[in-house]
Structure 1
Amino acid sequence: MISGLILGLLLVLTLLGGVFLPKSALAAVESKVTSPPSAEVYTAVDQLLNSLPRDYYTVMQVKQLKNKLKKRDNVVLVDVREPSEYDSGHIPGAINIPVRSLTKNLAKIPTDKPVILYCSSGHRTAIGMTALRLLGYTNVRSFPPSINGWKAAGEPLEK
């Protein structure tokens, strides 16, 4: 039986063309899936896709994010880029939890208040959101404009 986490991550990584996984690692995950996929696999994928909230990308604009951040104690902003990227400039108030270390840092990600993830372009954010969603987080959203959209809007960065 394929776990939801493996299936979900496989789905995201396949959609992203294995951008963040070496081919050998992607092949190892893909080997867990029977070929052709069983009815169980189709059902699991369908459940995953149907469990995504209708407002999956609720924070679509810089202005929306700024409004949410004004209520600082209500939102946790997570930069899922690598530490060197974070150190070069991040959205003020963001904490850095690289996407590769999300599962090791779940204690920093609350379940009782809104959490917004961002990266450079949205790819790592999608991976992080999918992983957290599969782990039961229903309060996580993304900021698709990411840091590039924030900078393009002329907003300040914190170092």
Structure 2
Amino acid sequence: MRPTDIAQDVLNQLVPLSALNSGNRHALLAKAIVLTPLAGEVVFSAGDDDGRSLYLIAGELILKRKGSADRKIESGTPEADHPIDPDSPRSWQARAVTDCQLLSIDAKTMDIMLTWDQEASAYDVVDVTDDINDEQDWMMRMLSNQAFYEVPPANIHAVFTRMQSVGVKAGDVVIRQGQPGDFFYAVQEGRCNVIRETPRQPNGIKLAELGPGDSFGEEALLSNAPRNATVTMLTDGELMRLAKADFDSLLKAPSIETLNLEQARKKTTEGARWLDVRLPSEFAKARVKGALNVPLFYLRKKSAELDPDVPYIVYCDSGRRSSAGAYLLKERGFEAYVLEGGLAGASKRASD
């Protein structure tokens, strides 16, 4: 079985995978794998640090940990909608009770995509262009480009504000092979050809035809290498572009103070409040006692309802979404901190 063969109604129940837009979900599933342990096989052991999020799609597992009662998980139950033992490294041993199927996803990539998704969902696209519709959502497609994965979460929103709109005509050469690269492009409207010249094919070989949502030129962001292909417009259109200088500046993380678990708890005794920026479905599964839940994509709207005199300790699972949330609050004059490593990091330190 391939991940793309899993029934849509099953995928729609998986938290937080189901919160991703369809483009990012498809990109993530394309890199996922399905594990098929037989009854009696160990899926993972306590202390394993594989960096994967595992969802039980079919079958039954038993989780064992020294000093804790055994836990059974059956597919199709609410507990199976969440990653199994998401701690890194693992806190439990998982053994298949029956033959099982597990969806295995890279946890870091999913977390990055989730952060991008929630930031983009909160962003007012009218500030950039008035002509985007659901079928031509260049932003969402752009987010799956790995060139952007190292942008600090707090700078994600700035990516879109730095992008420029450029009108193009059929026949325009946007980038030319061999020339230095200084911009990354995302196609908002129109179509273009990607051609590469070789010694044996001086007239060029067609590599691809790109349309709305596709992007090109990412090598300009990642290195000083010359363009490796020529991109020519087939139709009139509109491109969004990001300069390499802007991208380089966005790689530098803004100053946000992080607190370890002990420091955070001390802050709460002095009047600070916990602020959970995960999805409500994640919050319902596990949370810090007394925390407020304002998902990242909703934080811009809800920040006006928060008490400006109260310091907030922002957290998520890993620290990515909370970094973006804390930066947003600091921009609005709040005193905000990030829980170092998120809930996963706090859980790991608590068990050490």
Please give the TM-score of this superposition, normalised by the length of structure 1: 0.63
Offset at residue 38 of structure 1 (A): 10
Amino acid across the alignment from 1:25: M
Structure with more contact order per residue of length (Cα contacts < 8 Å, sep ≥ 6): 1
Match for residue 33 of structure 1?
163
2:288 alignment partner, one of 85, 91, 97: 91
1:123 alignment partner, one of 304, 320, 327: 320
Provide the alpha-carbon RMSD of the alignment.
Answer: 3.4
What SS does the corresponding residue of 2:307 show, helix, strand or coil? coil
Q: Is there any run of 5+ residues in structure 1 with no aligned partner, and where?
A: 1-15
Q: Counterparts of 1:89 and 1:117 in 2: how far apart (Å)?
A: 15
Identity of aligned residues (%): 23
Aligned length: 128
CA deviations on 1:85-127 (whole Å, 9 max, x unpaired) are: 1111111111101101101211342222211100000111122
Q: Counterparts of 1:91 and 1:129 in 2: how far apart (Å)?
A: 17
Match for residue 79 of structure 1?
276
Q: Is the 8 A contact 1:62 1:145 kept in 2?
A: no
2:266 alignment partner, one of 61, 64, 67: 67
Does residue 1:57 correspond to 2:269, yes or no? no
Label 1:75 to 1:18 Cα distance change in 2 as closer, same or farther (>3 A): closer
Label 1:121 to 1:67 Cα distance change in 2 as closer, same or farther (>3 A): same
Q: Which runs of 4+ in 1 moved over 6 A?
A: none
Please give the TM-score of this superposition, normalised by the length of structure 2: 0.31
Larger radius of gyration: 2
Offset at residue 31 of structure 1 (A): 8.2
Does residue 1:137 correspond to 2:329, yes or no? no
Q: Is there any run of 5+ residues in structure 2 with no aligned partner, and where?
A: 1-111, 121-136, 144-158, 165-182, 184-241
Q: Relative to total residues, which structure has the larger strand share, 1 or 2?
A: 2
Q: Counterparts of 2:327 and 2:287 in 1: how far apart (Å)?
A: 22
Q: Relative to total residues, which structure has the larger helix share, 1 or 2?
A: 1
